[in-house]
Chain A
Amino acid sequence: MIDMLLEIVDLHVSYGNIEVLHGINLKVAQGEIVTILGANGAGKSTTLLTISGLVRAAKGAIYFDKTPLHKLHAHKVVKEGIAQVPEGRRVFGTLTVQENLNLGAFVSRDSARVKRTREWIHQLFPILAERRHQLAGTLSGGEQQMLAIGRALMSEPRILLLDEPSLGLAPLLVKTIFQTLRQINETGVTVLLVEQNARAALKLANRGYVLELGKIVLEDEAKALISNPEVQQAYLGGIA
């Protein structure tokens, strides 16, 4: 068996009295692209937030390269090499593109390295280089999504968690962003992607999990999931 980079074991998460994740098991190997599919309220975002330490687990464990993450605070999780691109982008609208990117590198004190990473991100998303002195709030939705991804990459993560990067974007832009995600993955960054746009996500991913009402109901190779009749019925709009 391959060594797992990220391993979630029997994870339970509650908001107040209501349990939303009922014992999830999930594995991501080094270098993979894994996607989590599911309807609204299935617990996809909660899973990512718990990995990042922004939500606490009630029970269960999360291991990142054998380090137990579920005991760490969110700001420590970033130092371990995990970066999250939050749902709805959440860039700092009143700060410039450059300042937003610099925030992503907050954990790094090596300015030469930060500069190199920033140049790499400028290559990935040339528009961010062009607009680096512009306030992030004045960017278009797609550009803000690129900035959010760029900001997450600034901490040089080993794994990138993305929550609905296609949200509210034109299909053409979704394609561009997903292509860039593949490019990022090819440099060795593992990707865990939560998506409602199941088709785009499955085309990109190696493997996928289907989450329904806080439980994993299906887990397979992405190719197999695309041709799975149940998945087609529920997430791909009938005929594939």
Chain B
Amino acid sequence: MIQPKTIALIITTGILVSLPHFLNPYWVDVLNNIGIYAILGLSLNIIVGHTGLFNLGHASFYAVGAYTAAILNTKYQIPILWLIPVCGLSAGLFAMIIARPIIHLRGDYLCIVTIGVNEIVRIALINNVFGLTGGSNGIFGIDRPNVFGMTIRTPMEFYYLILVFGAVTIFLFRQLEYSRFGRALNYLREDETAAEGSGINTAHYKLAAFVVGAVWAGMVGNIYAAKMTIISPESFAFWESVIIFAIVILGGSGSIPGVILGAVLIVGLPELFRDLASARMFFFGAAMVAMMIFRTQGILPPRPRQYALPQNHASEEGGK
């Protein structure tokens, strides 16, 4: 028997796959942006939603990934999609170096430091560090990605690339949520001392969450560089971090559907309001304020895990 969940999944997949054929390239590109931000949001969700670490510098990891892709591609002509693991690795390494000394900081303090890191990265990029980043002009002439001999060029082609990447992300992060690792993150978010006292190495898990989130943001940076073919420091300013953060909080931190909905609203709504010209940000801001008053836990907060009530002790479900 097919479960209703499976049917919903098939229908959603069908809609997502056929959607770009009904839209003009402009709206397909909007969807691409939504997709990129959704994946960024999901990567930040590991850090903010699951572990409860306030990271307002996520764009810096995204930047490290994008610049790694751009530099290696333009200087050594390495096909851009091959660089995805390298971008993840460089962003993860960067996160490990900067997070190691600050990971013990509490909520608001950590938040301030991550804002600082974001600014340092942006200014370093503008100042053309090591003569590699091209200063405030950034890097241009990045190759189009190539999949099985086909060059990805149009928004619609990018749409499918991002869709596949997004699907893989959702699948993996779902596995992560229900793993021992995911549970450890949730425990330490709820009460760090009690978690530590129960045998969880909290410093280790906090750092690991940071690195996992950064690795993913770095890989998204690669896709972004390939899509834009030109990147500059202004694409990775503090404002980007704020948007990604808002996606997680607004949508429902800790919940995958919530974060995706957050990306749709935060990236998509300003496009819908484009007719209102300069007043659109006003409506956007008003919507956000209303949200925070009426639904502080986000639009789609994670549901408490469901358990089937056992009929007797023998059928009791252990673990999860």
Contacts and interface: CB of A to CB of B under 8 A. Distances in A.
Contacts of B198: 78, 83, 103-104, 106-107, 151-152, 155
Interface stretch (B18-26, B139-147, B301-309): B301-309
Best-buried of A73, A75, A83 by chain B (most CB within 10 Å) = A75
Contacts of B183: 99, 102-103, 106
B201 interface: yes
Best-buried of A92, A96, A104, A135 by chain B (most CB within 10 Å) = A92
B190 A95 contact: yes
A106 B319 contact: no
Interface in B134-189: 180, 183-184, 186-187
B196 A74 contact: yes
Contact of B191 (A75, A90, A98, A107): A90
B242 interface: no
Contact of A96 (B190, B201, B304): B304
B193 interface: yes
A94 B52 CA distance: 14
A166 interface: no
B7 to A, nearest CB: 27
Given A74-B196, A86-B194, A106-B184, A111 B319 contact: yes
Nearest to A102: B319
Given A102-B319, A111-B318, A133-B309, A94 B190 contact: yes
Given A90-B193, A92-B190, A155 B201 contact: no
Interface string A61-80: 00000000000011100110
B301 to A, nearest CB: 11
A211 to B, nearest CB: 21
B194 A92 contact: yes
B319 A86 contact: no
Interface string B9-47: 000000000000000000000000000000000000000
B199 interface: yes
Nearest to B197: A84
Contacts of B190: 92-95
B200 interface: yes
B113 interface: no
B304 A75 contact: no
A196 interface: no
B202 interface: yes
Nearest to B202: A75
Contacts of A135: 304
A114 B318 contact: yes
B191 A78 contact: no
Contacts of A78: 197-199
Nearest to A155: B199
9 contacts: A75-B196, A75-B200, A90-B194, A92-B191, A92-B194, A106-B180, A107-B199, A111-B319, A151-B198
Interface of B: 180, 183-184, 186-187, 190-191, 193-202, 304-305, 307, 309, 318-319
Given A75-B199, A95-B187, 12 more contacts: A54-B193, A79-B199, A83-B197, A83-B198, A90-B193, A92-B191, A96-B307, A102-B183, A106-B183, A111-B318, A151-B198, A152-B198
A-B CB proximity, top 9 nearest? A78-B199, A107-B199, A75-B201, A90-B194, A92-B190, A74-B196, A115-B318, A133-B307, A106-B199
